[in-house]
């Protein structure tokens, strides 16, 4: 049924009122599909505010059986902050062919300064279509304390948030120039994020590509991420996370954390990063935790990764501190254990290619290095290894003393 539906909707940009179409070609049983075009509810796609039209169209699609919400191609729909809420009557697909662009009027975000597009409490949702989600973030970057030190530090909206969704597929989209984080999966279960192209300028602050928090069983695959912060960030409450075939850079690399800020408890487990290419990033594969936290990072695999001029190719930092003043030394820490690095090769832009800066009270344990070859400018790179219990398999260069 889905393939027939995709063929029906492909490139759909007509002005016919919402119709119910019988897909007779699907086996012996016809399936009723409600196709809802945002233009039929007042959307113009001419760069003026279309928020109310999208709300009306969503309400109809969400309350329909086998609803399909269509955002037509060759148009630019300007939206203020909006929440697409469930539960919906049945499975739902949103086909984004055109461009959805964020309002750049910061006053529009006063009621919720942390979100722009939110999909909340929806099961069996597909968002795809090859179109563009444009966060229009330049005004936010200009007013960031990381760009202008004289300004107060305030959060900016996440472009695309999936909150408490189950059986979710997000694929074949371009997401660009987010105000802050591009895509966040928060408290979701069973997610596929496939073939996403995520881009923002290298100097855009806090523009993480994909942020995973409190989410279980997520596959991130075949994504190209070029932003001003982490390509992928995985934080507390997340488990069974797989990222494969990832192209990353510029940006800050692929990170677990930060975790344990403000003495909080944090847990991340069962993460696999497989087949990634990182180029020109400030970090490669990183685990970062604040001193004073508690909990654990466990059962992590980083494998089959190519590094090209990456400043910190392999790094565990249990003394992470993102503050102006030095952070105080504390006894407690988020434990880091059972982490494997396998078949990681390429070049380091810094002399120290491997950093394990672990806690005195809770040393990193079960750290395994297998078939590692990281050089610097054709020469030999070095390591910094503090309070770490590690083992070596095969050839490892550089290696901890």
Tell me, yes or no, whether 248 lies in a domain. no
- Rounded-to-integer distance, Cα 288 and Cα 139, Å: 29
Whole-model pTM: value is: 0.92
Please report, for residues 340, 346, 357, the alpha-carbon distance to residue 303 in angstroms, rounded to integers and kept in the order given. Answer: 8, 13, 21
Q: Are residues 204 and 308 in the same domain?
A: no
Q: How many domains does the chain have?
A: 2
133 and 191, same domain (yes or no): yes
pLDDT at 322: 81
Q: Are residues 223 and 299 in the same domain?
A: no
pLDDT tens digits along 88-135: 999 999 999 999 999 999 999 999 999 999 999 999 999 999 999 999
Mark whether 252 is an active-site residue: yes
Structure tokens at 129: 């279509």
- Closest alpha carbon to 274 in 341, 182, 355, 193: 341
Annotated catalytic residue 115: no
CATH number for position 18: 2.160.20.10
Q: 97 in a domain, yes or no?
A: yes
Q: Is 107 helix (H, G, I), strand (E, B) or coil?
A: helix
28: its two tokens: 């012996």
Taking CA atoms, 181 is separated from 93, 127, 155, 340, 345, in Å, by 23, 18, 10, 28, 29
55 sits in which H/E element? helix 51-62
pLDDT at 386: 97
Q: Are residues 215 and 272 in the same domain?
A: no
Is there a single domain that holds both residue 96 and residue 204? yes
User: For the segment 132-152, what is each residue's pLDDT rounded down to a tens digit?
Assistant: 999 999 999 999 999 998 999
Please indicate, yes or no, if residue 364 is contained in any of the structural domains: yes
Whether residue 217 is found in the same domain as residue 272: no
Same domain? For 208 and 303 the reply is no
Catalytic residue selected from 50, 182, 252, 317: 252
284 in a structural domain: no
> Which tokens in the block code for residue 67?
């609803």
Q: Name the catalytic one among 40, 208, 229, 230.
A: 229
Domain-located, residue 235 = no
3-state secondary structure of 108: helix
Q: Please, what's the b/e burial string for 305-335 (b: 16 or more CB within 10 A of its CB; e: otherwise)? A: bbbebbbbbbbbbbbbeeeeeeeeeeebbbb
Same domain, 272 and 199: no
pLDDT band at 31 (very low <50, low <70, confident <90, very high): low
Answer yes or no: do 179 and 302 share one domain: no
**Distance from C-alpha of 146 to C-alpha of 156, rounded to nearest angstrom:** 12
Any domain includes 357: yes
User: Is residue 185 assigned to a domain?
Assistant: yes
| Residue ranges making up the domain that contains 149 | 2-229
Same domain, 126 and 176: yes
């Amino acid at each position: 049924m889905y393939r027939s539906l995709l063929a029906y909707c492909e490139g759909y940009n007509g002005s016919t009122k919402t119709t119910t179409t019988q897909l007779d070609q699907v086996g012996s049983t016809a399936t009723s599909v409600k196709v809802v075009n945002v233009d039929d509810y007042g959307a113009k796609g001419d760069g003026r505010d279309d928020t109310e039209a999208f709300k009306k169209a969503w309400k109809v699609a969400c309350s329909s059986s086998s609803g399909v919400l269509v955002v037509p191609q060759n148009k630019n729909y300007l939206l203020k902050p909006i929440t697409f809420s469930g539960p919906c009557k049945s499975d739902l697909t949103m086909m984004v062919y055109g461009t959805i662009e964020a309002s750049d009027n910061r006053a529009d975000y006063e009621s919720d300064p942390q979100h722009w597009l939110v999909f909340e409490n929806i099961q069996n949702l597909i968002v795809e279509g090859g179109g563009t989600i444009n966060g229009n973030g330049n005004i936010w970057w200009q007013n960031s304390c990381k760009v202008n030190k004289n300004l107060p530090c305030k959060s900016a909206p996440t472009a695309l948030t999936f909150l408490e969704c189950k059986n979710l597929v997000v694929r074949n989209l371009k997401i660009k120039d987010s105000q802050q984080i591009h895509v966040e999966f928060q408290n979701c279960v069973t997610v596929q994020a496939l073939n996403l192209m995520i881009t923002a300028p290298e100097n855009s602050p806090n523009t993480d590509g994909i942020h995973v928090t409190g989410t279980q069983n997520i596959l991130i695959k075949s994504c190209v991420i070029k932003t001003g912060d982490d390509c992928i960030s995985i934080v507390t409450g997340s488990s069974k996370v797989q990222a494969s075939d990832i192209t990353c850079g510029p940006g800050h690399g692929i990170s677990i954390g930060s975790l344990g800020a403000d003495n909080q408890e944090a847990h991340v487990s069962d993460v696999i990063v497989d087949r990634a290419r990182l180029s020109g990033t400030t970090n490669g594969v990183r685990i970062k935790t604040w001193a004073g936290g508690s909990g654990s990072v466990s059962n992590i695999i980083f494998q089959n990764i190519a590094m090209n001029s990456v400043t910190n190719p392999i790094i565990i930092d249990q003394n992470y501190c993102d503050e102006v003043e030095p952070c105080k030394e504390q006894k407690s820490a988020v434990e880091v254990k059972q982490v494997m690095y396998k078949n990681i090769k390429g070049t380091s832009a810094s002399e120290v290619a491997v950093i394990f800066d672990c806690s005195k009270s809770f040393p990193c344990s079960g750290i395994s290095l297998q078939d590692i070859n990281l050089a610097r400018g054709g020469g030999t790179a070095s390591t910094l290894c503090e309070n770490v219990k590690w083992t070596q398999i095969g050839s490892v260069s550089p290696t901890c003393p």
